[in-house]
Chains A and B, each alone.
Chain A
C-alpha cells in the first residue's frame, strides 16, 4: 500500500488543505513535546540538587503552560482531521455518484447494484480511519521524528546514534510486512464484499428458503461463511499485526538501550543527570508517532482498498467521453415519424436483438409482441440510449443521436415500477421543472389510477402500494412527462402485467384517448391480447430476428 495515493489528492481537492493544516499542527505539537520533556527533567534535576519548591515555581508554571497548550492542540487536531475526513469523503462520494450516473443504466445493468451501493456508501466509510487517524499521524511522524532526533543529538550524540540506528529498521520491516500483507489485504476486501452480499442474499430470500424448508440450514451456511471469513482474516492479521509488533519492539528496545547506556555513563560520571533524564523522556517520543501510524496501518489499508474500488469507477467514467446534453438545440426533433433502419442492440459484447427495420408514424399506436427473452425490453433500452445500438434512428427525418439529442422526445415506463420514497405527486412529476398538480391528476386518469390520491406518501421503492397500483403510478409518471415535455414517443414496457382484466381495459381506454390526439406516438411492449387488439398495428418480434 502506498502511504498516500496521489489519486486521492487529484479526485478530492479537500485533501490538500487537510494536509497543510496537519503540517502546521504537527509542528506546534513537536514544540510542545520537546518543551515538556525539557521543563520536566529540569525541575526534577534541580529539585534533587536541592532547590526549593518556591525557587522552582516559575519553571513549574512554564511546564503547566506547555501542558495546557498541548491539550488545546490535541483538540484542534482531532476536530481538523475529522472535518477533513468528512469533506474528502463527501467530495469522493459526489464524484463517484456523478460518475455512475454518467456511465448510465447500461453500465449498471452489468453490475450488482447492491455491491455498487456498498462501495459508495459503507465501503467509503473505511476511509474515515485513514483520514482522521492514519494521515495526521503520518504527517506528525514526518515532522516530529526528525526534530526530536536532532534535539537528542545536540544533547547527547551517543543516544541519538542509538535512535538513528534503530529507526531505519522500522520502515524496512514495514515495507517487507506491507508487501506480504498487501495482496492478502486486497483479497480480504473482496471477500468481505462477497460476504456482505451473500448475507443480504440469504436474508432477502428468506421467504423462499422457508418455503423449501431450507431456512434453518442457512444458519449453518452463515456460520461457515463467517468462520471462513475469520480464518481468512486471521491469516491476514497474523502478518499485518507483525508490523505493529516490530514497531513496538523496536521503540521499546530503543528506550531500554538509551536508558541502560545513559545509566552506565551516569555511573562513571561522563554524563549529567539533566541531559540523561531529558534524553530518556525524548527517546520514546521519536518512536511514538511512528508507532501510532503502525497501529492505524491495518485500518488505513482497508480504506485504501475501498478507495481503489471508487477510483475504478471514476477512472471508467473519465475514460468515457462525458455526455453533453444540449438543453435547447435549435434543430432538436420534437415530432414526426419514428424510423428505425438496421436497428440492433447489444448488452456488452453479446448481441441480443436485431437488426430490424420499422416505422412508427406520428400518433400511431403500435404493440410490440414476441416470446419472452426475444429482446423486446433490450430494444427499448437501445432506443433510450441505455445500451449501444447499430443502425440509424430518425424522428421526422432528423437523426437521433444518443447523448446529443437529449431525451425530451421520448417518455418511457419500464417493467419495474422503480418508484421512490415520497408522495405520489412527487413520483408522477419526477424530473419535472415545474410540477403541475392538474397535469399529474390527468396522467393518473390516463393510467386508470385516479383512485390513488396525489398526496399519498410512499416508502422506499414505493412501499405502501400494491403491485398493480405501483405499476399504474409508474405509467402515469411516463404519461405526465410525455404531456409536459410534448414528447413525440411514449414507450410502455408490459404496462398491464400486474393488472387484472378490469384495470387493464380502463388503462387501454386511457391510452386510446391519449392516442386520439394524433400527436403522440404510442409504442407498447406487451404479451396481453387485449392490449395488442387495441393497437393500430402489431410489430411481432420472432426469435428468428435474433442475431446468430
Chain B
C-alpha cells in the first residue's frame, strides 16, 4: 500500500474537517485579538479620553475573552469527533486490504510487529488531522492575519513581524529536521522491535523460566529499551532547539517592533496605543505558532507509521495468491455434484523459488473419502491451500466440471471447507467460536455438533457455551481445539471437507473414534459429502475410499 494512500485514508474529508478547523481558527484569532485590544485599551486610557471612546475596546476585550474559550471547546469536540470517525474508515480500509492477501500473502509478517503495526500505527495516524493539518493551517492563517494588521499600522513593523515568522518557520523546521528527523524515523521501528522483545518474553515465559534464561532475556529487553530511549532523547534535543528558537524569535519580533516603532512615534500618525499593539501582538502570534514544531514532529511520526503499514501490506498482490477474476461474479457450483479434478497441478508459496507440490493428479467425487499422506514438507498443507484457493496453481483444477479460475473465490470456499492444522480460536465464548460458521444455528444445534465431536462433557465442565476459550486457546488442549474447529466445519455444512491433520494432537484411542465420527457425520442424508483427510497417522482402511501419497 502506498504511503500517500494511507495518509489519505487518515485525513477526514473536507466537510468533516472544516468545522473543527474553522472553530480553531476563530479561537486563535480571539487570543491575538484579546491581547491587542487590551494593550490598546490601556495605553489609550492613559491618554485620559472620554470613556465613550473606549466602549468599543471594552466590549471587544470581553467578547474576545469569551470567544477564545468557547470556540476552543467546540473546536476540540468537533475535530476529535472527526478524527474518530475517520479511524473507523482507516481501520476498515487497511483491514480490507489485508483480506484478499490473507493468509498466505501475509506470511513472514512478524507477530510483535503486527501488534504495533495494526494498533499503534493506525492509532498514530489519528494525529494527522488533529496534530498536523489543523495546527499548521491555523498557525498560517493567524500569522497572515496578524502580519496584515500590523503592516497596516506600520509597514516596517509588519515587515519585521513577517521576517521573524518566516525565519521561525524556516530555522525552527530546519533545526528540528536536522537533529530529530533521523532518530524520529527510527523511533517507530525501534518501538516495534522493542514490542517484539517484550511479546517474545511474555509469551515464552514458561520456556524461559524452565531454562533459567529469564535473566539473559530481560537483559536483551533492556538493550532494546536502551536503543529506543537513545532515539527518543536525541529527538527531544531537536524539538527543544526548535522550541527555543521560536521563543527567541518571538522576543526578537517584540524587540524589532520597538526598534522601528519608537523612532516613528509621533510621526505618520503612530501614537502610543499603536506602539503597544506592535510590540505585544508578536507575543500572542508566537504563542499560536508554538504548535508548528510539534506539528512537524507529529507529521514525521505519522509518516513513518504510514510507511510501516505500507510495507506490511504489499502493494501488488503476489502472483501466488489468487484473486477474483472480473466476470467470475455469478458462476456457481452445483453442490450436489461438486467433483474436484486436479490434473498435473503445481503450486508455490510467495517468495519461494521452487514449487512446494508438482504434478498432482486427484479426483474427489461426492461421497469419496480420500486420505492424503506424505512426510513433513511434502506439500500436504500446500495441497489443502490450493483446494480452498488460498494459493494459486499451475495445471488444471476443475470443480463441478468448471475451471475453478472462472468461479468466485467465495463460491469455491462455500463448496470446499478446510479445518486448519492449527485452528484459530477467537478470544471469545465457545458459542461465538461456533456461531460465526453458521450464525442462525440454535443452541440445540451447537450442543448437537459439540456432541458429534465429543466435546459435550468438556463444555459442561467449563460452564457451558458462554465460557471463554481463552487467548489462542491457552486453556484448550491441542485435541480440543481441533474438535472445536471440526465442529465449526460441520456447522458450515460444506459439500467437500478438507481436514488438515485432524488427529495431530488427539490420542490414538480416540483418534480412530473421532475419524469414524467425522466420516459418519460427513455422511449427509444422501451420503454425498466428500472428505479429504490429510494425516501422518495411519487411518483404518475401511474408513477411506482412496489414497494420495505425496513426496
Distance from A422 Cβ to chain B, minimum over Cβ atoms (Å):
9
Complex interface: chain A residues within 8 A of B202 (CB): 100, 108, 113, 116-117, 120
Closest 3 CB pairs of A and B: A67-B251, A82-B236, A527-B507
CA distance A245 to B68 in the complex (A): 9
- Proximity string of chain A (178-204) to chain B, C-beta cutoff 8 Å, 1 when within and 0 when not: 000000000000000000111111111
- Chain A residue numbers with a CB within 8 Å of B96 are 219
User: CB-CB < 8 A to A82: which residues of B?
Assistant: 232-233, 235-236, 239-240
A369 touches B507 (CB 8 A): yes
Decide: B200 and A420 in contact? CB cutoff 8 A: yes
Assess whether A112 is in contact with B65, with CB atoms less than 8 Å apart.
no
Q: A202-B95, A259-B38, A430-B211 are in contact. Are A230 and B85 (CB under 8 A)?
A: yes
A161 at the interface (CB under 8 A from B): no
Chain B, 65-87, CB within 8 A of any chain A CB: 65-66, 68-70, 72-73, 76-77, 80-81, 84-85, 87
Closest to B67 in A: A252
Name the residue of chain B whose CB is nearest to the CB of A259.
B38
Known: A100-B202, A213-B413. A263 touches B478 (CB 8 A): no
Kindly list chain A residues whose C-beta atoms are within 8 Å of the C-beta of B477.
372-373, 377
Distance A160 CA – B88 CA, assembled complex (angstroms): 49
Complex CA gap A125/B248 in Å reads 31
Q: Which residues of A contact B108 (CB under 8 A)?
A: 459, 463
Flag if A276 contacts B479 (CB, 8 Å). Answer: no
Pair A71/B48 contact, Cβ less than 8 Å: no
Which residue in chain A gives the minimum CB-CB distance to B427?
A201
- B116 sits at the interface (CB 8 A): yes
A466 within 8 A of B: yes
A215 touching B254 in the complex, CB below 8 Å, given contacts A90-B229, A93-B225, A273-B42: no
Given contacts A82-B233, A245-B73, A253-B66, contact A75 B206 (CB under 8 A): no
Establish whether residues A207 and B275, one from each chain, have CB atoms under 8 Å apart when the complex forms: no
A203:B236 contact, CB within 8 angstroms:
no
- The residue on A at minimum CB distance from B507 is A527
Does A360 count as interface, using CB distance less than 8 angstroms? no
CB closest chain-A residue, reference B510: A371
Bound together, the chains give a CA A161 to CA B472 distance in angstroms of 64
Alpha-carbon separation in the docked complex, A250 to B531 (Å): 74
Return 7 A-B CB contacts under 8 Å, by A number. Answer: A67-B248, A114-B115, A121-B199, A371-B507, A384-B210, A407-B210, A407-B212
The interface stretch among B17-25, B147-155, B340-348, B416-424 is B416-424
Q: Once bound together, how far apart are the Cα atoms of A544 and B76, in whole Å?
A: 64
Since A255-B61, A263-B41 are in contact, a sample of 14 more A-B pairs with Cβ atoms closer than 8 Å, ordered by chain A residue number, is A44-B279, A47-B261, A47-B275, A48-B275, A53-B259, A113-B202, A212-B436, A234-B81, A245-B69, A253-B66, A276-B42, A371-B507, A431-B213, A468-B377
The verdict on B376 contacting chain A, using a C-beta distance below 8 Å, is: yes
Cβ B38 vs Cβ A280 within 8 A? yes
* Cβ proximity bits A68-95 to B, threshold 8 Å, 1 near / 0 not: 1011101111110111001101100110
Q: Does B276 contact A (CB under 8 A)?
A: yes
Query: What separation, in Å, do the CA atoms of A372 and B458 have in the docked complex?
Result: 10
- Taking the nearest CB of chain B, how far is it from the CB of A294, in angstroms? 11
Q: Which interface residue of A93, A410, A498 has the most chain B CB atoms within 10 A?
A: A498
Q: Is B56 an interface residue (CB 8 A)?
A: no
B288 at interface, CB cutoff 8 A: no
Cα distance A116–B201 when bound, in Å?
Answer: 11
Q: Which of A347-367 contact B (CB under 8 A)?
A: none
Which residue of chain B has the shortest Cβ distance to A214 in the bound complex?
B436
Q: Which of B206, B488, B508 is close to A528, meaning CB atoms less than 8 Å apart?
A: B508
Map CB proximity to A onto B222-252 as digits: 1 under 8 Å, 0 otherwise.
1001100100110111011101110110111
Question: Given A71-B244, A252-B34, A252-B64, do A233 and B480 touch, yes or no (CB 8 Å)?
Answer: no
Given contacts A63-B255, A244-B76, A431-B216, whether A47 and B262 have CB atoms under 8 Å apart is: yes
Q: Does A104 contact B (CB under 8 A)?
A: yes
What is the CA–CA distance of A118 and B123 in the complex, to the nearest angstrom?
A: 14
Chain A residues lying within 8 Å of B258, measured Cβ to Cβ, are 43-44, 47, 56, 60, 63
Chain B residue at minimal CB-CB distance from A210? B102
Interface string of B399-433 (1 = CB under 8 A from A): 00000000000100110011011011011100000
Q: Does B263 contact A (CB under 8 A)?
A: yes
Tell me if A418 and B69 are in contact (CB < 8 A): no
Which residues of A (322-373) have their CB < 8 Å from a CB of B? Answer: 369-373
Chain B residues with Cβ below 8 Å from A113 are 199, 202-203, 471, 474
CB contacts (< 8 Å) of B73 on chain A: these are 241-242, 244-245, 248
User: Would A234 and B80 count as touching, CB distance under 8 A?
Assistant: yes
> Of the candidates B48, B103, B262, which one forms a contact with A269 in the assembled complex, judged by CB atoms under 8 Å apart?
B48
Q: Does B366 contact A (CB under 8 A)?
A: no
Q: Is the CB of B145 closer than 8 A to any CB of chain A? A: no
B426 surroundings in chain A (CB, below 8 A): 201, 205
The verdict on B300 contacting chain A, using a C-beta distance below 8 Å, is no
Residues of A contacting B474 with CB < 8 Å?
Answer: 109, 112-113
Q: Kindly provide the distance from the CB of B472 to the nearest chain A CB, expressed in whole angstroms.
A: 8
Q: In the complex the two chains form, is B81's CB within 8 Å of A208's CB?
A: no
- Among the 9-residue stretches B190-198, B326-334, B522-530, B540-548, the one with 4 or more Cβ atoms under 8 Å from chain A is B190-198
* Interface of B (DSSP majority class): helix
| Cβ–Cβ contact B240 & A74, under 8 A | yes
Inter-subunit contact A74/B247 (CB<8 Å)? yes
User: Which positions 91-136 of chain A face chain B at CB distance < 8 Å?
Assistant: 93-94, 97-98, 100-101, 104-105, 108-109, 112-114, 116-118, 120-122, 125, 132
CA distance A36 to B279 in the complex (A): 12
Measured in the bound complex, the distance between the Cα atoms of B510 and A98 in whole Å is 42
Give chain A interface residues in 196-248, CB to chain B under 8 Å. 196-216, 218-219, 222-223, 226-227, 229-230, 233-234, 237-238, 241-242, 244-245, 248
Chain A CB within 8 A of B125 CB: no
- A543 to B472 Cα, complex, angstroms: 25
**Chain B residues with CB below 8 A from A245, complex form:** 69-70, 72-73
Interface string of A31-59 (1 = CB under 8 A from B): 00000100010011001100011001000
Minimum C-beta distance from B325 to chain A (A): 17
Asked if B42 contacts A263 (CB within 8 A), the reply is: yes
> From residue B125, how far is it (CB to closest CB) to chain A in Å?
13
Are A414 and B42 interface neighbours, CB within 8 A? no
The one of B43, B88, B102 in contact with A223, judged by C-beta atoms closer than 8 angstroms, is: B88
The digit string for B20-59, where 1 denotes a CB below 8 A from any CB of A, is 0000000000000011011101111110110100100110
**Segment with Cβ contacts to B, from A1-9, A140-148, A499-507, A513-521:** A499-507
Please measure, in the bound complex, the distance between the C-alpha atom of A104 and the C-alpha atom of B204, giving whole angstroms: 11
Cβ B480 vs Cβ A117 within 8 A? no
A503 to B154, alpha carbons, bound, how many Å?
90
Bound complex: CA A60 to CA B68 (Å): 31
Known: A101-B209, A248-B72, A500-B536. A67 touches B92 (CB 8 A): no
Whether the pair A117, B115 counts as a contact (CB closer than 8 A) is yes
Cross-chain contact of B206 among A97, A105, A209, A210 (Cβ < 8 A): A105
Cβ–Cβ contact B42 & A266, under 8 A: yes
CA separation between A125 and B190, bound complex, in Å?
Answer: 13
A48-B265, A86-B233, A263-B58 known; A104 vs B245 contact (CB < 8 Å): no
Asked if residues B80 and A117 are in contact (CB atoms below 8 Å), the reply is no
Decide: A222 and B66 in contact? CB cutoff 8 A.
Answer: no
How far is A284 from B284 in the complex, measured between Cα atoms in Å?
11
